[in-house]
Structures are given as C-alpha cells and as structure tokens.
Structure 1
Amino acid sequence: MTKIADLRGLTPDQLSDELIKLKKEQFNLRFQAATGQLEKTHRVNEVRKDIARVSSLLREKQAAA
C-alpha cells in the first residue's frame, strides 16, 4: 500500500506514471483471478485504493495549477 505522504511529493507526471503502473497491475491481478492463479487476494483491494489515492492527488494538483 502506498502512503499518501509519499505520493504528495511526486510531480503530476510521476503521478500519471504511477497511475498507469497501478492500472497495469490491476489488470494483471484481474487476469490471475479469472484464471485461478491469484494467491494474494487482498492485493486487488489495495491496488484499487491506491488507484483512487493517485487519481485524487492528480486531480488536486491539476486544480491547483
């Protein structure tokens, strides 16, 4: 899980890269779940919440600019 304080120090470009990385991980986790290979089921919820955190910070920084 990513800490919000760590994310606040990132630039909007870095946040966009992090968001893309998290969405790829979410896709891979969904694919693993569909094929029955998912071992860490709690990771799905963690990634979903991290995506929400990064998206919120990205909107916040864009509104401030």
Structure 2
Amino acid sequence: MKAKDLRSLAVEDLQMKDNEMREDLFKLRFKHGIRRLENPAKLSQLKKDIARVRTVIAEKKQNQSA
C-alpha cells in the first residue's frame, strides 16, 4: 500500500484500516506459530503497511492541530 493512496483517506478510515491490519497481523503470527506460512514475507510487509498507516495518521493529526 502506497502512502500517497493513504493520504487521500480520512483519519477515521485510516484508523479502521490500522485496526484491520493489526488483527490480520495477529492472525498471521498465530498461524506462523502453529505451522509454516505459505508466504512468510507477508508478515514483514504487513508490519511496514501498519507503520505507513500510523505515520499518515500522525501527520494528519499534526496538520489538524496546527
């Protein structure tokens, strides 16, 4: 997911997306503990996407307060 695409979303949408991604990450970690994943690189990609979403949320909140 590109940061450019994320910047066009509202803060509420970004927070919902963050919650969904964190839930997906939890499920993937759980599956990874039980058995091998088909694509273990998905874990690191999901972590990076979560970081992007959280960065954009922080930027938007900072711009609103300024």
Q: What residue is the counterpart of 2:20 in the other structure?
A: 21
Name the SS for the 2:37 alignment partner.
Answer: coil
- What per-residue deviation string (whole Å, max 9, x for no partner) do you get for residues 1-58 of structure 1? x111110100000000000010001001100100014211010000000000000000
| Code of the aligned partner of 1:57 | V
Name stretches of at least 5 consecutive residues in structure 1 with no aligned partner: none
Aligned-partner Cα distance in 1 for 2:11–2:45: 21
Segments of 4+ in structure 1 off by > 2 A? none
**Alignment: residue pair count:** 64
Q: What residue is the counterpart of 2:6 in the other structure?
A: 7
- After superposition, the CA RMSD in angstroms is 0.7
TM-score, reference length from structure 2: 0.92
